[in-house]
Structure 1
């Protein structure tokens, strides 16, 4: 159904173009039979009939009319020919060229003191300044045009001026004030049966409602504009209405209808070579693809829009494009391009409102002297201001910068002294840390190994020797029960000897980390020492790698580190639980996992457990140095220790040591 409607629309459009061409050809035949001013007037009519749909042909007839006007010569006809050529450039989107021809026509109007020509000049030049982004200058020209119309009491052409003033207020987002001018323009157009400007005003009113977010009202006016465009076969404003409907549907989230109306608008703009209209359609295509998440397609449409905008120098469209480029690259995650386009947008936005009137007013004779005097005065003032700035800058350097430099040097010296003091404090802290480690080691196990080990070893030797002597005395005795008693005693003595031997690991002194250490033997020795403490409380599971588990280190300090972690794991288990010890040999390092199913460590304490003197135990039950010392020992061996814990689930220590 949508396709058939589009075909009908295109057929009607082509039929209208064909009828327009037939009318132009008929007028051209009429021109051949005329001469002088009559021929020029006929050529002017052909230009107006063709400038929307066939601008190149319109341009040829406009140039011919200008040449004939200059030969007469007739200043009024020359002025009108210049304005019509400017109009062709305008509909082609060539605003700079249009401005040039309009200003030339305006000069003639001023020379003739013709209020109508002057009014047309102010109106046309004001509209072009609007398109070129000089809104203040545009408004000044258009208000002058309206004042002339009000003074003369003329309504013809007043609708155009009112619409143009409304465009400026709409551009600076004063939508309500803009709509007041558009509605005045509509009323004037209805009163004089100016259907084209009636349609133009309807579209403009719709745009203000759309910008305010009143989509229902906007859609109502755009539909009126589209219907009226079909009836009048005015496909320029019909294209604007179709474009507006597509944009309203886009804002309303009705993506199924957006493309249909945008394509209709694009076809109409392409058929009359309306580059400005095509640029606006491609911009809306890009916005629609961005909203649907098709970022690559959005960029493709935006490139096409930007090409047209640059070709016809639509600076406001170029500004909107830069902002949309930044938004697209933001969605693509390309931060660099997003910022680059945003910076270009800001620079262009700031420069857009600079008045370009200075270079154009030189074409108006009555303003030449005034502008020259103003420029001379401005130059003198600028030179004086620059000299003042240079003097102020020099004074600023002398008064402010020099003392700041001296102050910076003083601060740098103080900072250097503070850094050196910090280094000394750091060295003292490391020294104190080593003393703490030694103190903890001697306090916990060193004294035990040296003292208790010595005291226990001698009695064990006596018992061992005594058992040996008794065994010899009772040789030949066949009492098996007595022999089993001797065996039990021997096993007890051997076990006690092994415990004393394990304790000796913790009495080793010296900073050497070049000893050959078997990790599995170290773990077994630690478990042996803690056996009586954990045997009725903790189930020990060992998962040792079958690969070689030797590395270089300080055996005594590694005993201390692993002992501390296993002891902490046992203390974390309230009643009964499990400690699982796993060893893994990686390519360049050995990993030791010690896991318990105890109470766990609160998240807020995980970052503190390696701090010296931090403990959660009751006063007198712990120094808070155990894990701090353990961490220091692992770091001495170029390793690291990682802790993972969940409340009521347990804790896992992962020790990594280089092979």
Structure 2
């Protein structure tokens, strides 16, 4: 495995030496003889070529491009120059300065009504708010950027936006959603041969697997990234791949290789003066030294990491460092120092929270200014009016609630230990509440089903006995018309009996998860119950696997889950439509696809449909508990649900359940 690091490190050393020798002359030659816009375009290209490895040169050429753009009074070029200078500040870790330049660039783009400049502004500002810890604001900007790119069909830099959205989800630990965006980013970059973003996306996918603890998948992507780093001569992202390999080996106990890969990564970051990468490298080396109980070395390395983190204001790294300081002193047995660094960690975390609140307050006039710029774009006028009203309401809410937020922060710092206990109790209460909701609904359904079954079975038995008696009397009678009437009555009795039998599945009590459940029968029972609602409205298409599929679980609760999904599908169809149900048996699990061609679910609501009490129905028409209970039931069976939807085209539920628990 060390071969990857050797190849990469040798490649880094050779490339760095060669580039350092001829870099100045080469860059000067590229702009020689160029004037006006041609020269500005070449300068812009140089900035993006060298801003990772040679930030000082990038800043010099960016400032030169800005000066020329202002002399020509070319607003579009001024905006682009400002954005590129912001990018240099970003890679140096000066996020506040980068935000300042990006906001200037965005203001010019909005005044020009240039969708590309507006789009780039949303993307860059969103990434900066991510680095500053304002994740909700970051996601808002990044999704705006993606929306504009989708509308105008722009693929350039789309991979960057998708990666940035993934970073936000990764930071809030929604690794599955993050990986979805990182994978999309890789596919876009691969399609247009954007090698740097291919490598960046590969590393990001590896990081999500690393955070989930899936070390086998993580190492696969980091090794691929290390190879790509050598092939594409990308020192920055190649160093990230090496750090990833080192961290995987640290977690899996491969002590013989950890130090080698972490030091190789650190040397690569040093070669391009990547202070952010160096800070991460020293931090991981400090963790490795701590795992070997080398406390003095661990403190020394952590001090180097913290010095760099403070220098370039990497807040998240500072937090990680303070937490590791506390852990080291805890291992040493120095309770005083342990508590001192723990208090520093809590103080910094609280101050970052206050900064996020203040930043959102300061952002209100900026957002209004942005929306005024978008208002001038005729195709978006109606949307902007609504957004302006929303921002004004947001301003009012913040103005009223900011004193309460400050009080909450003060109380949190004073009673933080009690808050931890309260949070644990709240989690237990939420779990108990969800069980109670499910239990009450099932109990109500059980009482209803049992009562209906009892009341209907008695008259059915009378009818059945009466028909049998008449049939015996008619045995020797060849009255065909009378016999056909008796046959019709018998068929009606049989259908009514089957309906009662289906209802009994919903009245089953208890939490036995070891019942043998036939999914095909469960789905057919649900369709039978829904027959009257769907018979003149919905065409049911079933594609059941011919393989025998039984799984262990609670049959009553699985009936409830399937009924909720099918009922939602029926309600989503206005007029006539189709519901298609497919079952597929895999090696160790079964998949159920339930697809409708109804009105679809808006993208903003997709992430909320599993929340308790969330409903789009009118008051009194729905409780918002149906899908919440359904997701809970599937989770109880160690399964999962994925939902995809397109407005006006329909919705697809994919339910995956293991065959063995």
- TM-score normalised by the shorter chain: which range applies? 0.5 to 0.7
Write the distance in 2 (CA, Å) between the matches of 1:178 and 1:26. Answer: 40
Which stretch shifts more, 217-226 or 187-196?
Answer: 187-196
Alignment match, 1:657: none
Q: 1:375 to 1:222 in 2, by over 3 A?
A: closer
Are the aligned partners of 1:361 and 1:367 in contact in 2 as well (CA < 8 Å)?
no
Write the distance in 2 (CA, Å) between the matches of 1:104 and 1:151. Answer: 24
Structure 2 SS opposite 1:273: coil
Are the aligned partners of 1:162 and 1:182 in contact in 2 as well (CA < 8 Å)?
yes
Structure 2 SS opposite 1:293: coil
Write the distance in 1 (CA, Å) between the matches of 2:189 and 2:274. Answer: 24
Shift, 1:382, TM fit:
6.5
Q: 1:340 to 1:146 in 2, by over 3 A?
A: same
Are the aligned partners of 2:319 and 2:349 in contact in 1 as well (CA < 8 Å)?
yes
Alignment match, 1:183: 183
Write the distance in 1 (CA, Å) between the matches of 2:212 and 2:219. Answer: 13
Shift, 1:12, TM fit:
2.5
Alignment match, 2:644: none
**What is the 5 A alignment of 1:340-379?**
340-353=340-353, 354-355=356-357, 356-360=359-363, 362=365, 366=369, 377=396
Write the distance in 1 (CA, Å) between the matches of 2:339 and 2:328. Answer: 11
Shift, 1:165, TM fit:
0.7
Are the aligned partners of 2:158 and 2:188 in contact in 1 as well (CA < 8 Å)?
yes
Write the distance in 2 (CA, Å) between the matches of 1:339 and 1:138. Answer: 33
Alignment match, 2:118: 118
Are the aligned partners of 1:319 and 1:345 in contact in 2 as well (CA < 8 Å)?
yes
Write the distance in 2 (CA, Å) between the matches of 1:375 and 1:141. Answer: 16
Q: Could you give the per-residue CA deviations for residues 48-76 of structure 1, whole angstroms, max 9, x where no partner exists?
A: 12211111111111111101111111011
Write the distance in 1 (CA, Å) between the matches of 2:4 and 2:158. Answer: 37
Q: Could you give the per-residue CA deviations for residues 282-327 of structure 1, whole angstroms, max 9, x where no partner exists?
A: 1101111111111121111111111111111111111111111111
Q: 1:379 to 1:364 in 2, by over 3 A?
A: closer
For normalisation by structure 1, the TM-score amounts to 0.55
Write the distance in 2 (CA, Å) between the matches of 1:383 and 1:257. Answer: 51
Unaligned runs of 5+ in 2: 373-387, 409-661
Aligned pairs, how many? 387
Shift, 1:329, TM fit:
1.0
Q: 1:375 to 1:221 in 2, by over 3 A?
A: closer
Alignment match, 2:74: 74
Are the aligned partners of 2:203 and 2:221 in contact in 1 as well (CA < 8 Å)?
yes
Structure 1 SS opposite 2:169: helix
Alignment match, 2:212: 212
Are the aligned partners of 1:285 and 1:298 in contact in 2 as well (CA < 8 Å)?
yes
Structure 2 SS opposite 1:205: helix
Shift, 1:19, TM fit:
4.6
Alignment match, 1:311: 311
**What is the 5 A alignment of 1:236-247?**
236-247=236-247
**What is the 5 A alignment of 1:35-74?**
35-74=35-74
Write the distance in 2 (CA, Å) between the matches of 1:220 and 1:133. Answer: 30
Matched, 1:28 2:28: yes
Write the distance in 1 (CA, Å) between the matches of 2:257 and 2:338. Answer: 30
Alignment match, 1:93: 93
Alignment match, 1:14: 13
Are the aligned partners of 1:279 and 1:304 in contact in 2 as well (CA < 8 Å)?
yes
Structure 1 SS opposite 2:176: helix
**What is the 5 A alignment of 1:166-315?**
166-315=166-315
Structure 2 SS opposite 1:154: coil
Structure 2 SS opposite 1:52: coil
Are the aligned partners of 2:8 and 2:227 in contact in 1 as well (CA < 8 Å)?
no
Are the aligned partners of 1:218 and 1:248 in contact in 2 as well (CA < 8 Å)?
yes
Q: 1:375 to 1:184 in 2, by over 3 A?
A: closer
Q: Kindly report structure 1 stretches of 4+ aligned residues shifted beyond 6 Å.
A: 4-8, 368-376, 382-386
Write the distance in 2 (CA, Å) between the matches of 1:377 and 1:338. Answer: 42
Q: CA RMSD in A?
A: 2.9
Q: 1:62 to 1:364 in 2, by over 3 A?
A: farther
**What is the 5 A alignment of 1:191-590?**
191-353=191-353, 354-355=356-357, 356-360=359-363, 362=365, 366=369, 377=396, 381=400
